[in-house]
Chains A and B, each alone.
Chain A
Amino acid sequence: MNTAPAAPEAITATAAPSAPAEAGAERTRKFEKCVEVLNRYHRNPAKLIPILQEIQESYRYLPEEVLVFVATSVGLPPARVFGVATFYAHFTLKPKGKYVIRLCDGTACHVRASQPILDALRGRLSLTATEQTTPDMLFTVETVSCLGACGLAPVVVINEDVHGQMTPETAVALVDEICTKEQGA
């Protein structure tokens, strides 16, 4: 599995004295990546979606200022870029946690009782349908409408890892495991 994305500055800023430097370097790297992506697509407005996809990969969300920068660079009005970014569920304008937990609520998972798992995860992390990310930016819990793994229903995907035949207990155990790992780190 690829390395976990770097922690956002909100956490690192208070973690260690050298943290601001790291966060700064991180931001520089992201911005350079942003410019590199734009140049690779020749600032072609027709390539807006792949450009946004790649930029979201490095930022983990689409910050407003980055969207304005992209709009200016490809020669589209910011309102159009905003429209595209809000149309597709894949794009997010809010920062997401280090661990994005996607619970499938498609038909198969739903009938195999995905709802109690969602309730348990939200209960464990004090999240709601509108508050999907923990204040420490560690976890985001969201539902998706089918992951195409109905044989494993109900399914939870944490970042890139698929966990099948979940129960409320096993799902919460996964969260606990990550918490322990993070505290040790």
Chain B
Amino acid sequence: MEQKTDQKPTVLVDGREVTIDGERNLLELCRKANIDIPTFCYHSNLSVYGACRLCLVDVKGRGVVTSCTTIPEAGMEFKTTTGEIREMRKIAVELLLANHDMDCPTCPKSTTCKLQDLARKLGVREVRFRKTNRVEPIDRSSPSIERNPNRCVLCGDCVRMCDEVQSIGAIDFAYRGSECSVVPAFGKDLNTVECVHCGQCVAVCPTGALTPRSEIDAVWADIDNPKKVVVAQVAPAVRVAFGEQFGLAPGAAATGRMVAALRRMGFDQVYDTSFAADLTVIEEGHELLGRMASGEKLPIFTSCCPAWVKFSEQYFPELLPNLSSCKSPQEMFGSLARYILPKQLGVAPEDLVIVSIMPCTAKKFEAKRPEFQHDNIPGVDHVLTTQELITMTDAAGLNFPSLEPESFDMPLGFKTGAGVIFGSSGGVTEAVLRFAAEKVTGKPLTQVEFHEVRGNEGIREATVALGEASVRVAIVHGLANARALAERVRDGHAHYDVVEVMACPGGCVGGAGQPVSNDPGARAQRAKGLYEADRTTDLHKSQDNPMIREMYETWLGEPGGPLAHELLHTHYASRKRITDSDFTVLPSAEKRPVCVSVCVGTNCYLKGSQEILSKVLNHVETNHLHGAVEVKGTFCFENCGQAPNVAVNNQLIESATFEKVMEAVNEASCPAKSPA
């Protein structure tokens, strides 16, 4: 008996014995046995869907089943390739191609498209079915993501990613049968719904239906313009993924050759966003220590990730005061560069073009936020993803492996290891701890690596001792994890000093702008690459960065001081999830009715806004005020802390009661009523 329990159960795959080692389904088992089973809709971190019908296997005694939905059982025998299975897979792909927009040469996903890859691998040479679909318009409303429904294969990967990993659900299946499509609510444009631009839908889309919005043409135009001085900043996570397209392993640093490529393309200066990350550490570190001293607005939530910032503005308005007021490194770089470079480089401010290279689609959205425009000039002009930079490298005809490595330009290209690890989940926290530890203890920190904050778990917690004091930190990545943690903080069930949030699994290394990777371990490898880069850098603490010190001495003054505050900090405002969604409960045909808008969003509802709404409606009815009063339900006044909110004409009533509202209504309608 004992011997038996020690033996692991096995199955027979194509006549070969394979042990079951906790695999959840036959597909995972096949992958372990190095058999490449085709699939569109299977992702190990998403729920099993079974929609694409490609991962078929023939189980003895059961017939042909989808391997992703079949749980391994001891003694099971199955075949992964038979004439019948090959034919079925081929027909499935052929049917998908029949309704597919076959503009492959001009599709950004060409060569990395799974549909293309499978059609080739399965030997599909013709499509025998008649095209029946209609041409749907392309949604280019979002600054981050382009949605081309004509390339969608309805695998649902994006839908499950947005719902399960990011807990947003901005897109979903709608309609039915041949009409079925993946759309934002009511078929609206992506930019008008609750999408936070993280682009994880793009990262899992097997075809070119969801792709990053390209800004390549605009960047070339500025490079080609002799009047413009074009400077680049490169985010930390880019350097450990850029080389993947050119045959390097994920995580292998391609920094030097990437800088060389940028110069050869025509960028006048190449700087490092890690420098701005060092600056962020100093500013955010001061902010943290200040808040810990006063005990106010704790925990401090990081604000480097623009998808998280928009997420919290939509779902956690009550936590906005806790968000670090620091701009993200991208925007800190933008502000600082606009401030010092015109003088340093001798260029007219209007001729300075700042281009970011980011692993991220949400950074494109961030660069367009009105908070980061000053006198109609944005902090950053264009944001390219790692993928776009690769395309530009190819377009410029550069032979990447043969490039001689070069170094970043000074001073905005000099960084410490702390600024480099920003690209990995846990990196921001570790960098801030390296600063805070020295500041608190007043002694030099010798052991700079905080292994307790590293790792892959979606939610990590640690208490880090800084001399006498201790800091309670939490690190989350993936917005569903962030939502769970933020709810606990909001409801008083969890207490921390620092919470680091990254929207993408793994942090920025797993951003949607990174090269499409079929290697599930790529994110971990890239993170490893960043920590290696930190180890091989001479300086590991942002406060040791001589260029940062010089920056404060020459330009910025004190950390957190007036100029630092003006240039490097920002503010947030709660925002509606869906724009243009006011709900006219009681319309009025009159020219100037008294307009009562009652917020029926979650916060105000919980505080009794619906009762006020009912009472107002009853009052209008019993007093025959129809026409004189217009009543609307609205979905957020961006003032959730003072819920319930009601507006009468343009006057906002905080912590409203029915009596307060009627007082305002009577006041507003007095002049109109007096003749009667």
Give chain A's interface residues, CB within 8 Å of chain B: 9, 13, 20-21, 23-25, 27-28, 31-32, 35, 64-69, 71-73, 75-83, 86-89
Contact = CB atoms under 8 A, between A and B. Distances in A.
B185 A79 contact: yes
12 contacts: A20-B588, A24-B588, A25-B621, A35-B614, A72-B601, A75-B602, A76-B169, A77-B168, A77-B185, A80-B163, A83-B173, A89-B176
B172 A77 contact: yes
B589 A20 contact: yes
B658 interface: no
Interface string B551-587: 0000000000000000000000000011001111111
Closest 7 CB pairs of A and B: A77-B169, A78-B185, A21-B626, A79-B172, A65-B583, A24-B626, A79-B185
A24 B173 CA distance: 35
A69 B581 CA distance: 9
B185 A86 contact: no
A67 B171 CA distance: 15
B163 to A, nearest CB: 7
Contact of B626 (A20, A35, A71, A80): A20
Given A21-B624, A72-B600, A27 B586 contact: yes
Nearest to B600: A69
A78 B610 contact: no
B372 interface: no
A79 B171 CA distance: 6
A64 to B, nearest CB: 5
Contacts of A25: 621, 626
A35 B583 CA distance: 13
A24 B587 contact: yes
A75 B627 CA distance: 33
A78 to B, nearest CB: 4
A87 B184 contact: no
Interface of B: 163, 168-176, 183-187, 193-194, 577-578, 581-589, 600-602, 605, 610, 613-614, 617-618, 620-621, 624, 626-627, 633, 635
Contacts of B194: 77-78
A65 to B, nearest CB: 4
Contacts of B621: 24-25, 28
Nearest to A73: B605
A145 to B, nearest CB: 13
Given A65-B584, A73-B605, A83 B172 contact: yes
Contact of B193 (A72, A78, A87): A78
Nearest to A66: B583
Given A68-B583, A77-B163, A87 B617 contact: no
Contact of A79 (B193, B585, B589, B633): B193
Contacts of B584: 65
Contact of A28 (B586, B600, B627): B586
Contacts of B586: 24, 27-28
Contact of A27 (B185, B186, B587, B618): B587
A73 B602 CA distance: 7
Given A35-B614, A79-B184, A82-B185, A87 B581 contact: no
B627 A21 contact: yes
A27 B173 CA distance: 31
A31 B172 contact: no
Contacts of B624: 21
Contacts of A13: 589
Nearest to A32: B614
A87 B176 contact: yes
A23 B626 CA distance: 9
B635 A79 contact: no
Contacts of B184: 79
Given A24-B587, A79-B193, A65 B582 contact: yes
A82 B581 CA distance: 14
A86 B176 contact: yes
A27 B584 CA distance: 9
A78 B169 CA distance: 8
A175 B578 CA distance: 42
Contacts of B582: 65
B583 A78 contact: no
A79 B183 contact: yes
A69 B583 contact: yes
Contacts of A89: 176
A79 B170 contact: yes
B77 to A, nearest CB: 39
Contacts of B172: 77, 79-80, 82-83
Nearest to B633: A69
A28 B585 contact: yes
A183 to B, nearest CB: 25
B617 A68 contact: no
Contact of B186 (A24, A82, A87): A82
Contacts of B578: 68, 78
B158 to A, nearest CB: 11
Contacts of B187: 82
B370 to A, nearest CB: 25
Contacts of A27: 585-587
Q: Which of B172, B176, B620 has the most CB of A within 10 A?
A: B172
Contacts of B176: 86-89
B635 A24 contact: no
Contacts of A71: 185
B620 A28 contact: yes
A81 B600 contact: no
Contact of A72 (B169, B587, B602, B617): B602
Contacts of A72: 600-602, 605, 635
A132 to B, nearest CB: 16
B324 to A, nearest CB: 28
B185 A81 contact: yes
A23 B630 CA distance: 12
Contacts of B613: 31
Nearest to B175: A86
A64 B192 CA distance: 14
A135 B605 CA distance: 37
A12 B588 CA distance: 13
B169 A80 contact: yes
B349 to A, nearest CB: 43
Contact of B620 (A24, A79, A87): A24
B170 A68 contact: no
B537 to A, nearest CB: 43
Given A71-B185, A77-B194, A80-B169, 9 more contacts: A24-B586, A27-B585, A32-B617, A64-B186, A65-B584, A68-B578, A77-B172, A78-B577, A79-B171
A20 B593 CA distance: 13
A158 B163 CA distance: 41
A88 B185 CA distance: 16
A77 B173 CA distance: 12
A79 B175 contact: no
B589 A87 contact: no
A73 B626 CA distance: 27
A67 to B, nearest CB: 8
B595 to A, nearest CB: 14
Q: Which of A32, A69, A72, A76 has the most CB of B within 10 A?
A: A72
B585 A83 contact: no
B628 to A, nearest CB: 10
A31 B185 contact: no
A21 B590 CA distance: 12
A88 B177 CA distance: 11
Contacts of A76: 169
Contacts of A81: 185
Nearest to A87: B176
Contact of A68 (B183, B605, B626, B635): B635
